[in-house]
Amino acid sequence: MNIFLNTVMKFFIGLALFVLTYFHHKSYGQDFASGARTRSLGSGCTADSTVWSLFNNPAGIASLKHVAVLISDEKIYGIQEIKNFSAGIICPLKKQLLLAASFSNQGYKWFNDQQIGIHAAHRKGPYSLGISFILWQRIAGETFRETYPLCNIGGTMSVNKHLQIGLHISNVSNTQNTVQTLPLRIKGGMLYKISNDVLFYADIIKQSNSNVFFSSGLEYRMHRFFYLRTGLQLKPMRLHGGAGFSSKRLSIDYSFSWQQPLGSKHQLSMYINLRKK
């Protein structure tokens, strides 16, 4: 009897995981947001210039000057089996050229996406350019396993001391699978520095298989080392918030997100700046 009940429970848990993940991917669009800072600011930040730009618009890392190691983990919808994990390393080279590597995994055992990326970024005056080569593997069930090579490009431009704009195009290579063309995604955004302590982000995102949607975020530095953040996404509606600690060598961020009817997400991120003394 116990064996039968355990089997039934595993079946329904597996079914629930599949439905939630499928609903999340298909009905609400893929919601990759690596880094609690990015998530808490509305998952946009296309025009940003921080270490977390590695997963969002790698052109933004072009101004970094020290080796950095990043790691982030997100719990999704209160279900332990579903998670979003990311890690990366950024290595500045000579003449404002940076190379970086990244890894991310979202989903659960029988339905997940894995991405391994190599990135390069270069800065010239107010302009920064980035290019990424991604291997994207999708696993569904015990039999479906496909890998797609993708190429992404992006850039940022500092208009003045207050305003920076960014553009990023995912899957510019137009990679296709056996069923349909993988979506082309275009993101355009701005970063406006209201003051030394307040930053405002706004992004417009269009994916080839979905409607245009909007995101925005606000960051407030309440202390030399501590930050408060809030963000909003439309179509679908997602609410975000978070806090962070940042010093010269270490940064720790937390984000909370809510989406009806799926529920909440909690993400914790950290990066270590390996600068020389």
DSSP string, 21-51: HHHHHHTS------SHHHHHTTS--TT--SG
* Distance from C-alpha of 250 to C-alpha of 124, rounded to nearest angstrom: 28
Distance, CA of 131 to CA of 120 (rounded, Å): 6
Q: 141 vs 45, which has greater pLDDT?
A: 45
Distance between CA 85 and CA 105 in Å, rounded? 5
Q: pLDDT confidence of 139, banded at 50, 70, 90? A: confident
pLDDT digits (tens, 9 = 90+) for 194-229: 999 999 999 999 988 778 889 999 999 999 999 999
Q: Could you tell me the residue range of the domain that residue 72 belongs to? A: 2-273
Q: Which residues contact 18 (CB under 8 A, 6 or more apart)?
A: 110, 111
pLDDT of 23 reads: 40
Count of alpha carbons within 13 Å of 71, Cβ hemisphere only? 3
Which residue, 271, 273, 276, 231, is CA-closest to 55? Answer: 271
Tokens describing residue 56: 């969002």
Say yes or no to pLDDT of 26 above 50.
no
Please compute the mean of the pLDDT values over residues 169-196 and round it to a whole number. Answer: 83
Q: How many domains does the chain have?
A: 1
∠ CA 205-207-188, nearest 5°, is 25
CA torsion 160-250-57-164 (nearest 10°) is -10
Cα–Cα dist 219/217, whole Å: 7
Contacts of residue 266, Cβ cutoff 8 Å, sequence gap at least 6: 74, 75, 254, 255, 256, 257
CATH number, domain containing residue 123: 2.40.160.60
Q: Within 10 Å of residue 107's Cβ, how many Cβ atoms?
A: 21
